[in-house]
């Protein structure tokens, strides 16, 4: 098989890249190790930044998002038994859309297939060869049979556990890593959310987050120790713990409970690879960087990487102009590091550290009160959360 851009991975990064390239007249093939059903139903992120929602709308993918997603003009920070709302449009003129990653992926796959795009499901990339030549190739397995995809450019959008990053030589690559001493227990529940906007709670017992997937389905998270397992938690214990962490003083608000349909644990990690390019091999999305989910940035970073890269590839295949390809890594990394800092900051502001040092908790509460009392402090949170347009 031969194509211009060989894309490894049919997550949001690989699929959006293939869609954007198609719209610019550049041919690509996507290799995906899993089947379509699995890829479309993997439960992950839920918040789409203002600028990423605009990209989806501008490229014909905003229809279902605008009809079925929820525009959110703020989030609530809950601490010390009180709630404080961060008003995004008042502070930044922007908002976010609650629209699950599963739905974005479904729409992207349907659109690529309707446009005659090549997504090879059940095709597991095993090696990338010739990254520094002008004919890189990807070897992949379909069942037990090895096949080869010859390309002009390879883009690894194969997530944190993919093979793309490993194809960068050790003397070229530098990685930066932070592992946190806690994880998230996430649930999906058949119950209408008892809040209109997301709630991020800092509580003595640990962090909790109230999110949603639709008007009928709630998505909630609890901070738990790293060695915890979803099996350790009965449904009743989960609801009791969420209720305790979201409790408000002087209010009769309460958390509605429903049937829990999914429980899973997500570890928390920050990770960056530099550079995001080696010759004709480019990295995008989780293949290059990971953030803890507290700032809701993972999906957005992945989609912004490929928006930038698609422009660079379009210029290159259109006129041979390599300027964008040459600046891709540095330009993407500037935005990545901003999101890394924001995600780390939101995480440390809201979680209880492993040693439960009361001094740290007092500092967190002081900072949360500062955000509630200072427009400047609230604005910096809102700017980062809705997505800085200029970074
Ligand atoms: P993805 O979505 O991981 O997609 C990579 C794709 O590559 C395929 N693949 C291969 N295909 C062929 N050959 C190989 N050798 C391959 N190796 C891997 C995989 O099957 C997969 O389909 O990466 P992408 O596109 O960069 O998108 C990134 C986002 O998915 C990710 O940043 C977010 O979902 C992160 N994330 C969350 N972000 C948030 O903002 N909020 C969240 O609540 C949130 N929850 C999560 C998450 C990530 C999770 N992971 C990765 C474990 C929850 C989880 C469980
Ligand atoms: C989610 O809905 O899964 C979600 C929302 C906000 C976050 C993380 C996850 O910060």
Question: Which tens digits make up the pLDDT trace of 139-157?
Answer: 999 999 999 999 999 999 9
> What's the CA-to-centroid distance between 105 and ligand 1, angstroms?
11
Q: Please report which residue ranges of the chain form alpha helices under DSSP H.
A: 12-23, 36-41, 50-58, 63-68, 88-92, 101-114, 235-246, 298-319, 323-350, 358-373, 375-386
Residue 389 has pLDDT above 80, yes or no: no
Residue nearest atom 35 of ligand 1, based on CA coordinates = 298
The pLDDT value recorded for residue 355 is 67
Residue 45 in this model has a pLDDT that exceeds 70: yes
Mean pLDDT of the chain: 96
Provide the pLDDT for residue 356.
Answer: 65
Cβ 177 vs Cβ 269: under 8 Å: yes
Cβ–ligand 2 distance for 384 under 6 Å, the answer no
CA distances from 298 to 7, 45, 157 (A): 19, 8, 13
* pLDDT confidence of residue 311: 98
Report the separation in Å between the CA atom of 10 and the middle of ligand 1, taken as the mean of its atom positions: 9
pLDDT for 270-299, tens place per residue?
A: 999 999 999 999 999 999 999 999 999 999
Please give the number of the atom of ligand 2 that sits closest to the Cα of 212.
2
Instruction: Tell me the average pLDDT across 252-260.
Output: 97
Ligand 2 site-directed mutation target among 75, 212, 221, most atoms within 8 Å of CB: 221
Residue 213 has pLDDT above 80, yes or no: yes
Give the residue, out of 7, 9, 30, 272, with the most ligand 1 atoms within 8 A of its beta carbon, to mutate for a pocket test: 9
Q: Indicate whether 357 pLDDT > 90.
A: no
* Domain 5-72+96-176+269-346: which CATH number of 3.40.50.300, 3.40.920.10, 3.50.50.60, 3.30.365.10: 3.50.50.60
* pLDDT per residue as tens digits for the range 289-336: 999 999 999 999 999 999 999 999 999 999 999 999 999 999 999 999
Tell which CATH architecture fits domain 177-268+354-386: 2-Layer Sandwich (3.30)
- Signed CA dihedral, 6, 7, 9, 10: sign only: negative
How far is it, in rounded angstroms, from Cα 219 to Cα 101?
13
Domain range annotation of the chain? 5-72+96-176+269-346, 177-268+354-386
Q: Do the domains at 5-72+96-176+269-346 and 177-268+354-386 have one common CATH topology? A: no
Q: Which residues make beta-bridge pairs with 75?
A: 86
Handedness of CA 110, 116, 121, 126 (dihedral sign): negative
What is the DSSP annotation of 26-80? --EEEEESS-HHHHHH-----EE-HHHHHHHHHTT--HHHHHHSEEE-EEEEEET
Task: Report the helix count and the strand count for the chain, using DSSP H and E.
Answer: 11, 20
Q: Is the CB of 202 under 6 A from ligand 2?
A: no
pLDDT above 90 coverage of the chain, percent: 95
pTM, full prediction: 0.96
pLDDT score of 274: 98
Pocket flag, ligand 1, residue 299 (CB < 6 Å): yes
Instruction: State yes or no: pLDDT of 377 exceeds 80.
Output: yes
Could you tell me which residues come within 8 angstroms of residue 281 by beta carbon, excluding any fewer than 6 positions away? 128, 131, 136, 153, 154, 155, 156, 164, 167, 168
361 is catalytic: no
Query: Residue 324 has what pLDDT?
Result: 98
What is the tens place of the pLDDT at every residue in 96-121?
999 999 999 999 999 999 999 999 99
Compute the half-sphere exposure of residue 115: CA atoms within 13 Å on the CB side of its CA.
25
Q: What is the pLDDT of residues 196-207, one digit of tens each?
A: 999 999 999 999
For every residue of 285-319, DSSP letters joined together read GGGTEE--GGGS-HHHHHHHHHHHHHHHHHHHHHH
Packing angle between helix 298-319 and helix 50-58, nearest 10 degrees? 40
């Amino acid at each position: 098989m031969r194509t211009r851009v060989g894309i490894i991975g049919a997550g949001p990064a690989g699929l959006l890249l293939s869609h954007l390239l198609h719209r610019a007249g550049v041919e690509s093939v996507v290799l995906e190790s899993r089947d379509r059903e699995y890829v479309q139903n993997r439960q992950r992120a839920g918040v789409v930044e203002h600028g990423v929602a605009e990209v989806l709308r501008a490229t014909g993918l905003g229809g279902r998002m605008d009809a079925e997603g929820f525009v959110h003009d703020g989030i609530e920070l809950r601490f010390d038994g009180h709630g404080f709302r961060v008003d995004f449009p008042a502070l930044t003129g922007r908002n976010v859309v609650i629209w699950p990653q599963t739905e974005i992926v479904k729409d992207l796959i349907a659109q690529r297939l309707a446009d005659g795009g090549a997504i090879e499901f059940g095709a597991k990339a095993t090696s990338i060869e010739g990254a520094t030549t002008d004919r890189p190739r990807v070897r992949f397995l379909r069942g037990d049979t090895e096949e080869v995809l010859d390309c002009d450019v390879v883009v690894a959008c194969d997530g944190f556990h993919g093979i793309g990053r490993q194809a960068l030589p050790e003397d070229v690559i530098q990685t930066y890593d932070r592992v946190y001493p806690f994880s998230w227990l996430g649930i999906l529940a058949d119950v209408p959310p008892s809040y209109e906007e997301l709630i991020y709670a800092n509580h003595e017992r640990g962090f909790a987050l109230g999110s949603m997937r639709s008007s009928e389905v709630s998505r909630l998270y609890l901070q738990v120790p790293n060695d915890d397992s979803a099996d350790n938690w009965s449904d009743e214990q989960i609801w009791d713990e969420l209720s305790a962490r979201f409790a408000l003083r002087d209010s009769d608000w309460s958390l509605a409970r429903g049937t829990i349909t999914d429980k899973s644990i997500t570890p928390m990690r920050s990770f960056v690879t530099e550079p995001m390019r080696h010759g004709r091999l480019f990295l995008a999305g989780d293949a290059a960087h990971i953030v803890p989910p507290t700032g809701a940035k993972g999906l957005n970073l992945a989609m912004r990487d490929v928006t930038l890269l698609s422009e660079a590839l379009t210029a290159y295949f259109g006129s041979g102009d390599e300027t964008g390809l040459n600046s891709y890594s540095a330009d993407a990394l500037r935005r990545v590091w901003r999101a890394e800092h924001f995600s780390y900051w939101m995480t440390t502001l809201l979680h209880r550290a492993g040693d439960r040092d009361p001094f740290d908790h007092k500092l967190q509460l002081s900072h949360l009160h500062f955000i509630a009392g200072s427009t400047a402090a609230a604005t910096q949170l809102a700017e980062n959360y809705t997505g800085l347009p200029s970074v």
